Amino acid sequence: MDSNDTRVPVDEFNAALWRRYHNGKIRNVYPLIKYNDIIEKIKTIEENPPCNTPGEYYLLRKFIVVNVNGKERLSCKPENCILAENSQETSVSTKFYVALEEIYGFLNEAHKWIKHGCRDRIVRKLQSQGIVNITRDTVELFLSFCKLCRPGKNSVSRRIGPKSQSIQVSVNPLPQNIHESPSTTENGSENPVLNNHIASETKIELNQNNSIPQTTVCTFTRGFIDLIDYSLSPDGDYRYVFLYMDVQTCLCALYPVRCKCTFEIVSHLLSVFTLLGPPQVLHSNFENSFLFSIIQELKQALPELILVSGSTNYAEVQEVAQNCICEVNSMLKTWMFETKSNHWSYGLKLVQLRKNTKIPCNSTKSSYECFFGHSLNSNLSPEIDINLLKKADKEENLLSLINEQNSSESFISQLLVSLALLTLGCSTKIHGDYMA
């Protein structure tokens, strides 16, 4: 029953769910990064009262942090807790939210538990577990990908003609034999409505079969932009971290910004594009209208720019971007902890360099090397000790250190050659004496 053929595909469902999230069609659902950040913010506010910003008051009014099965969860306050819409409240001890990336797991378990049952049974199962932010619409979206729950999904039929003469025709029917054409009625006369329908479908099939060369999506260079919210720990006027990431190499550029406005974002993108070059496709977690206004401003500043907004169908882009955001956020907090400084705007560029020159565990090259084609100190010989050269403060000192290392290496190499020749000569003499 739950074989691979009947299991809901996780990638397709998550891609559809991300599209709904970006279009604002689902509420009270947050990506895992934002979900964990809200939990940390609430814990920080509770440990260090009082609140200082309206955002902090909003978080404390709406959420609390609870422990569910040994894991910290985001929960709503009793007076604000509303279960899935149009549903009756059930008696559960702890009600909590789940992150967007966790929705598939909970739905899949409930779906298997009720053995491909209806929507309402899945909703009641989720409510009994205490989950409050998986609505009926989300359950219906999940069931739309199940072949057993939606057996007629691929066999779409159309009703043609008046209700008294309803004729069922499949979407892509073409007569196998001209004598069996359904375009004639029982008395032998032609049905003009049906003829037009078949002609239009034949035209569609001919257009689909045309062998027109198409550009693959892999040929586009892609960029990703987003804002990391630091409004709970502002650095002066700076409240956000603007991030631009090259999707192919994960090279990122970081800038502190004061507010989520088009001017600041366009200004930083112009700095990136004029230095690194622009992509053709720009992805983002922003609203479509806001991203469109950013692209229009960029095209006015750079008339030769070819740039379009990226589709939300690429779950891989979202996954890579979220991993990059999480890593940057972790590095920046580590820098603040190590330096005991709250001026994170100063540490952004240091984090940027550390992130771009870090070699991931699943690769042999850093993002910097993948983008530029060379490492940070590729013009120096690999045999030279970089730590020794860091002590130089003038060009003369740097040259002398390099010459000293080169001379010592030359001496060592000559010594090794001499030892090798001496060893070879001794072995030859012994072999000659033995043969004699």
> Who has greater pLDDT, 129 or 56?
129
The answer, yes or no, to whether residue 252 has pLDDT greater than 90, is yes
Q: Which residue in the block uniquely carries the two structure tokens 């650095």?
A: 235
Of 236, 240, 283, the C-alpha closest to 261 is: 240
The pLDDT assigned to 93 comes to 58
The answer, yes or no, to whether residue 160 has pLDDT greater than 70, is no
> To the nearest whole number, what is the mean pLDDT of the chain?
74
The residue-averaged pLDDT of 259-267 equals 91
The pLDDT assigned to 60 comes to 78
The pLDDT assigned to 399 comes to 74
The pLDDT assigned to 59 comes to 79
Q: Where residue 225 falls among pLDDT bands split at 50, 70, 90?
A: very high
The answer, yes or no, to whether residue 218 has pLDDT greater than 70, is no
The pLDDT assigned to 246 comes to 93
Distance (Å, whole) CA 52 – CA 158? 60
Distance (Å, whole) CA 94 – CA 75? 8
Burial degree of 427 (CB within 10 A; 0-12, 13-18, 19+): exposed
Burial degree of 117 (CB within 10 A; 0-12, 13-18, 19+): middle
The answer, yes or no, to whether residue 137 has pLDDT greater than 60, is yes
pTM across the whole model: 0.45
* Torsion-angle region of 277 (φ positive above 0: left; ψ -120 to 50: alpha; else: beta): left
The pLDDT assigned to 124 comes to 86
Coil vs helix vs strand at 90: coil
The answer, yes or no, to whether residue 166 has pLDDT greater than 60, is no
- Hey, CA dihedral for 87, 92, 96, 100, is it positive or negative? negative
The answer, yes or no, to whether residue 1 has pLDDT greater than 70, is no
Peptide bond into 50 cis (omega under 30): yes
Q: How many CB atoms lie within 10 A of CB 227?
A: 19
Among 4-8, 72-76, 121-125, name the one with the lowest average pLDDT.
4-8
Q: Which amino acid is at 179?
A: H
The answer, yes or no, to whether residue 299 has pLDDT greater than 90, is yes
Of 293, 249, 292, 246, the C-alpha closest to 273 is: 246
Strands 63-68 and 281-284: unpaired
The pLDDT assigned to 102 comes to 92
Q: Where residue 193 falls among pLDDT bands split at 50, 70, 90?
A: very low
Burial degree of 373 (CB within 10 A; 0-12, 13-18, 19+): exposed
Q: Where residue 150 falls among pLDDT bands split at 50, 70, 90?
A: low
The pLDDT assigned to 85 comes to 41
Distance (Å, whole) CA 299 – CA 308? 10
Beta bridge partners of 96: 131
Of 173, 172, 192, the C-alpha closest to 183 is: 192
The set of residues, in sequence order, having a beta carbon less than 8 Å from that of 385 and lying 6+ positions away, is: 405
Among 26-30, 70-74, 144-148, 250-254, name the one with the lowest average pLDDT.
144-148
Report the CATH architecture of 222-358: 2-Layer Sandwich (3.30)
Q: Where residue 220 falls among pLDDT bands split at 50, 70, 90?
A: confident
CB 368 within 8 A of CB 357: yes
Distance (Å, whole) CA 285 – CA 111? 30
The answer, yes or no, to whether residue 164 has pLDDT greater than 50, is no
Q: Which amino acid is at 213?
A: P
The answer, yes or no, to whether residue 268 has pLDDT greater than 60, is yes
Stretch (H or E) spanning 269 = helix 262-276
The answer, yes or no, to whether residue 273 has pLDDT greater than 90, is yes
The pLDDT assigned to 414 comes to 55
The pLDDT assigned to 240 comes to 94
Map out the domains of the chain as residue ranges: 10-83+91-145, 222-358
Where are the alpha helices (H) located in 130-249, listed in sequence order?
136-143, 192-209
The residue-averaged pLDDT of 46-72 equals 78
45-79 burial: b if 16+ Cβ within 10 Å, else e: beeeeeeeeeebeebbebbbbbebeeeebbbbeee
- Range list of β-strands (E), 314-410: none
Q: Which residue in the block uniquely carries the two structure tokens 């709503």?
A: 76
pLDDT tens by residue, 170-181: 434 444 443 344
Of 8, 231, 268, the C-alpha closest to 140 is: 8
Distance (Å, whole) CA 226 – CA 108? 30
The pLDDT assigned to 241 comes to 94
DSSP per position, 208-231: HH-------GGGS-EEEEEEEE-T
The answer, yes or no, to whether residue 111 has pLDDT greater than 70, is yes
The residue-averaged pLDDT of 109-136 equals 85
The residue-averaged pLDDT of 383-387 equals 59
Q: How many CB atoms lie within 10 A of CB 312?
A: 20
The pLDDT assigned to 412 comes to 53
The residue-averaged pLDDT of 252-279 equals 93
Among 12-16, 166-170, 183-187, 295-299, name the one with the lowest average pLDDT.
166-170
